[in-house]
Amino acid sequence: MRHRSTIIIGGGVAGASLSRVLAQRGVAVTLLEKAGQLCSGATWHAAGLVTRFGGSSKVKKMHVRALELMTALHAEHDVGLHLTGSIRLVNKGDESRLREAKQHCELAALYDTPEYRTELLPADEVAARHPLLDASVIECGLWTPHDGDVDPTSLTNVIAKQARAAGAKYIFDTEVESVTPRADGTFVVGVAGGGEYTADSV
């Protein structure tokens, strides 16, 4: 039975990001990925949308921090980051959605900083930005100018490269089938084929 300090399950953007943070802080990290390469699950077919929009101050701060990281990575490596802005539509008659949109604008105004900027656009302005929309059914649009998209696969591979440079170990073709806590606070991680790892944290 092989022992690891910390095991991360899954080689998508979340697993790679966590391995990078921990490895850079000196934690001995092992990432187990069931496929033969990174981005073989949800990350592979994700749209890669990134936003500063969020329902709470904590979520907004997390989004801003993630975008800061992506922007820094994109400056050194092409991770396909495009900050084109986004519009969340509010259809006519959808009072609940309209209230929610106004609340987000009020929350953004509390911060009074460019990175949290959010504003309501009237239907004609929404249609001017996106001519394929039918403005007759739109009440307004919630415009977040610093939103955009990123290439999830490129981003994950850059993050994983930095994680491994910091000491993280990646093991491929290793599907996790079970995680069993033990009385001493450690875990037994069972993998396909009957192998096992022990870990202080999973």
- Tens digits of residue pLDDT in 173-182: 999 999 999 9
Cα separation, 198 vs 1, in Å, equals: 7
Best CATH choice for the domain 1-47+151-202 from the list 3.90.1150.10, 3.10.20.30, 1.10.760.10, 3.50.50.60: 3.50.50.60
For the chain, where do the domains classified as CATH 3.50.50.60 start and end?
Answer: 1-47+151-202
Q: Can you give the pLDDT at residue 121?
A: 96
- Tens digits of residue pLDDT in 11-42: 999 999 999 999 999 999 999 999 999 999 99
| 141 CB-contact burial (10 Å; exposed 0-12 / middle 13-18 / buried 19+) | buried
| 156 CB-contact burial (10 Å; exposed 0-12 / middle 13-18 / buried 19+) | buried
Q: What is the pTM of this model?
A: 0.86
Amino acid code (one letter) for 77: H
- On average, the pLDDT of the chain sits at 92
Cα separation, 94 vs 52, in Å, equals: 23
- Is 142 in contact with 126 (CB distance < 8 Å)? no
For the residues 39-60, what does the mean pLDDT come to? 85
pLDDT at residue 112 above 80?
A: no
pLDDT at residue 55 above 80?
A: no
